[in-house]
Amino acid sequence: MAKIVYALNQSLDGFVDHDHPEFQTGPELFRHFIDDVRSLSGILYGRRMYENMRVWDGTEWGAPEREFAAAWQSKPKWVVSRTLKSVGPNASLIEGDLAAAIRELKAQHEGVIEVAGPELAHSLTELGLVDEYRLYLHPVVLGHGKPFFAGPRPPLRLVASDRFGENVIRLTYVPA
């Protein structure tokens, strides 16, 4: 059975606005993300995050970016949306009963299915379907953006912490 993991970069004040210029991913962290995507069984997206990530369907990249794009393109993607009528390569739409669809994905796959996007993660948290939370803390304060937790934070228990480069710490939590 697959594990649902919600993982995103965030600022010290809890926002996930990746367009901010201070939200840089150094070489060590970018390498980690390449390896992480390679290890996934698939990725779950809400519409907005999926549309943002479609940039990786492109081909105009330097070597590390091409490596990430190839890993991302190879993974199955499931997109939860009420408005999209179609999705890109290696992606499927999830419509209807969200809880039933995610339970089915978990039962059909092994390994980690990563969920990206605060609103989708919040919906899955409310349904009790997120097995792990990975917060990649960057040493910036944004003061705006989308919060990592789109609603009340569930009770969590810290199970690991890891450092990437000089500035980023990943905190790993499971529901308490």
Is 73 a domain residue? Answer: yes
pTM for this prediction = 0.94
Please tell me the distance from the alpha carbon of residue 4 to that of residue 110, in angstroms, as a whole number: 10
Asked if residues 126 and 151 have their Cβ atoms less than 8 Å apart, the reply is yes
| Mean pLDDT, residues 124-151 taken together | 94
Is 171 a domain residue? Answer: no
Q: What is the tally of structural domains in the chain?
A: 1
Is 87 a domain residue? Answer: yes
pLDDT band for 23, please (50, 70, 90 cuts): confident
Is 36 a domain residue? Answer: yes
Average pLDDT across the chain, whole number = 93
Asked if residues 9 and 138 have their Cβ atoms less than 8 Å apart, the reply is yes
Question: Higher-confidence residue: 26 or 53?
Answer: 53
Q: Determine the structural domain holding residue 54 and report its residue range.
A: 3-112+126-165
Sheet of 168-175: strand order equals 91-94, 77-80, 42-46, 112-116, 3-11, 132-138, 168-175, 156-164
Is 170 a domain residue? Answer: no
CATH code of the domain in which 77 resides: 3.40.430.10
pLDDT score of 26 more than 90: no
% the chain with pLDDT above 70: 99
DSSP track, 102-150 = HHHHHHH--SEEEEE-HHHHHHHHHTT---EEEEEEES---S-S-BSSS
Tens of pLDDT, residues 66-122: 999 999 999 999 999 999 999 999 999 998 899 999 999 999 999 999 999 899 999
Query: Which pLDDT belongs to residue 64?
Result: 87
Query: Which pLDDT belongs to residue 110?
Result: 97
Please tell me the distance from the alpha carbon of residue 71 to that of residue 35, in angstroms, as a whole number: 8
% the chain with pLDDT above 90: 76
Strands of the chain, DSSP E: 3-11, 42-46, 77-80, 91-94, 112-116, 132-138, 156-164, 168-175
Please tell me the distance from the alpha carbon of residue 68 to that of residue 157, in angstroms, as a whole number: 31
Is 117 a domain residue? Answer: no
